[in-house]
Chains A and B, each alone.
Chain A
């Protein structure tokens, strides 16, 4: 069977995570939640530790801890702490507690590196099912709520007036973020999940005129980075997760340059659009 090939499984895992992360990453960028994504990802290592202690599934452990973390941040953010301070405290203490907790677990040999940097080549059939289940869930949520999410992102008052509750949409995004983190853990690891969210979206921005085109382009860039990263890592025997992220960064540099050139050209021509 075709899924018996570990490279095929790796490619499918990469595509799945790319498709879930890219549109969500656009919202993370638009709402300036980049650090929030980071914090959720760092909390994941605590989720790993908990799921090992309680011997539950990794996915469930990471999901629960990520959501818990998001909830605490939301509750505290109105209480006199600046958001970035709060996220900094939460992210790094969750990571630290996670690392300490992992060290207490005896009897199980844990490859910590696999969680920090991921191991896409070790993705099994069950992992694939979890990844694509999560991807379907996140893409379904995004598609279903797209207009409402977008309106809430644009302006909270405009959303309220149109009967959209921005707090509810925020929770949808938080939930999706937790799912993507849980799903992407195996592929790129805790330290690079945020990169997979943000870099494709940032790379798509200079060439986009509407939110929809940006999300679509981000998905294409993410899939390209995943597949070419896998291939490159195979050729040069480099670590796969970091190679994928490196290639996404290269694509970011290329589109930024293209956007810059296009602006120059259009400024020389008749007055036209100017994406910032």
Chain B
């Protein structure tokens, strides 16, 4: 089932074309990752999907009644606003205390429930924001560099949780990430964005495309090497382990 379909999307900000002729679609149960250098319009694309920015041209069609779980790149909380982590979980919709506790446990921030959001570390806040997004049982999960500030273990946990959530909620996932290696393993499709879509498709095809190489240069080779390495390992585990 098609959750999201974007056609010929242009977005101009301050008279400057940030996105040009972007096409993108996403189905239920699919994980799609957007790659691109800084200033390539990744966050702009996500913000136009959640409705913060109106298209200058083109269409963004969402499935009727689509609920979105959104994790922003960072959340700045004004110091004048008191907010406990558990209260943040119930904004804007109230959730049962049991559900909140479970979501926080899954995100690995159980003992932070009564703390002020402003007292959390960057990584803890990202985990809490993911927990909040999941509480809505979203059809579409949108993550803007959600692993920013997470340590190695946190990042690994995060991608594991993502894989599980995709199956449990049967939701679509659209994310921005810079971790090429993790992206290649976790995504069904990759979209390279630099104002317009430069290449898109399954990770192995995208990595091999000239557009991808032009965009990421030598990073590309590292990611590719790691990716192949993992695959080789997965294919011949008995030989390597014995």
Contact = CB atoms under 8 A, between A and B. Distances in A.
Interface in B76-118: 76-84, 87-88, 91-94, 114-116, 118
A211 B75 contact: no
Of the candidates A30, A31, A158, A210, the one having the most CB atoms from chain B within 10 angstroms of its own CB is A158
B109 to A, nearest CB: 15
Interface stretch (A6-14, A36-44, A103-111, A145-153): A145-153
A209 interface: yes
B80 A154 contact: no
A151 B80 contact: no
A158 B82 contact: no
B92 A148 contact: yes
A214 B82 CA distance: 8
A160 interface: yes
B50 interface: yes
Given A155-B75, A157-B52, A273-B119, A208 B68 contact: no
Interface string B54-69: 0000000000000011
Instruction: Give the interface size class of chain B.
Output: 20 to 34
Interface residues of A, number: 32
A126 interface: no
Contacts, number: 83
Given A147-B92, A151-B92, A273-B114, A161 B80 contact: no
A154 B118 contact: no
B81 A209 contact: no
A213 B116 CA distance: 14
A154 B92 CA distance: 10
A273 B92 contact: no
Contacts of B47: 157, 160
A210 B82 contact: yes
Contact of A162 (B77, B81, B118, B136): B136
Contacts of B136: 162
B52 A156 contact: yes
Shortest 8 CB-CB contacts between residues of A and residues of B: A161-B70, A161-B50, A151-B92, A147-B92, A276-B79, A208-B82, A160-B52, A160-B51
